[in-house]
Structure 1
Amino acid sequence: MKQVITVFRVIHGLMALFFACAALMLIVIAARMGWLAFIGSLDQAAAQHIIEAVGLLAAAVVALQIAETIVEEEVVRDADISAPTRVRRFLSRFFVVVIVALAIEGLVATFKALHEAPEQLPYAASILVATAFLLAAWGVFIHLNRSAEELEPEAMEDAKNEDHKLKG
């Protein structure tokens, strides 16, 4: 059984590496777009390229945070994610990044639609509405999950004790 768990840890490590590589590629592409906009004429087209670069950077942050979360939760801690505390912490880390990235993408889509294709504005607005819905759903999840945590306070202590693995 330990060999199977080791295989899963290696697979998780590879997935984290691929997410990190994707993040680095997105950062390079965004930097190139930003630089080309900067050295070109500073006009509305350059502003659009900068806004798109910000969207790519937001996606890079998501990819990098997912990589970090996978490494910390699945490789370093080797934690059982079935406890309510673990689930809340894992999903909270994930949702905070996804919600911020979606909000940035929604704003990028709004700016782009305003200047290039106003008929696309409802789609940009739907991204922002969906982001608000995710934020509200996350809040409800945390509220309901805290009640479950109160039933097993030792899980919170275990989670706090495992945090020392990451600091050392």
Structure 2
Amino acid sequence: MAALFAFAALMLMVIAARMGWQAFMGGLDGTAAQAIIEAVGLLAAAVVALQIAETIAEEEVIRDADISAPTRVRRYLSRFFVVVVVALGIEGLVASFKAIHEDLALLPHAAALIVSVGVLLAAWGVFIRFNRSAEELEPEAMAAAKEEDHKVE
């Protein structure tokens, strides 16, 4: 699974590089800027795919971790959410630029994406807050999670 995510990320990077190169060779104008902004959005998606591949490899293969413990769940989901929130934020900015330059009717969709990033960020904070209480009930799980960290250093 990690290899498939990594392969998808590499393909997205190749496509983004090709789009950027074509925009550069086509002339440096507003259309090229829009194409480069879209390429940045693809690169953000590639980063997400690479981060998911890394998380899967570290958690499932290297650590062979038990994801059911509250500490491990928080750490696993936090790694995932950081990447998703950043990538969606970048996509929201790309969508905003595209809407402003191409069709203002798309601006509410871009705004909805940015608002959803805020909602995800708030939900993640609530999850961490509630999960921290669960961690305090199982201090041995936190110690075990920290002990597993030496496997990936």
Same fold (TM over 0.5): yes
Instruction: Please list, as runs of the form range in 1=range in 2, the aligned pairs for 1:5-154 lying within 5 A after superposition.
Output: 15-154=1-140
Q: Distance in 2 between matches of 1:150 and 1:163?
A: 19
The letter of the residue matching 1:62 is V
Q: Distance in 1 between matches of 2:67 and 2:27?
A: 51
Q: CA RMSD in A?
A: 0.6
Q: Distance in 2 between matches of 1:153 and 1:36?
A: 55
TM-score (norm 2): 0.98
> What stretches of structure 1 of length at least 5 have no aligned partner?
1-14
Q: Deviations over 1:89-146 (max 9, x none)?
A: 0000000000000000000000001000110100010000011000000000001111
The letter of the residue matching 1:67 is A
Aligned to 1:155: 141
The letter of the residue matching 1:39 is M
Specify the SS of the correspondent of 1:95: helix
The letter of the residue matching 2:54 is E
Q: Distance in 2 between matches of 1:97 and 1:42?
A: 31
Q: Distance in 1 between matches of 2:104 and 2:79?
A: 34
For these two proteins, the number of residue pairs brought into alignment is: 153
TM-score (norm 1): 0.90
Q: Distance in 1 between matches of 2:96 and 2:116?
A: 14
Aligned to 2:150: 164
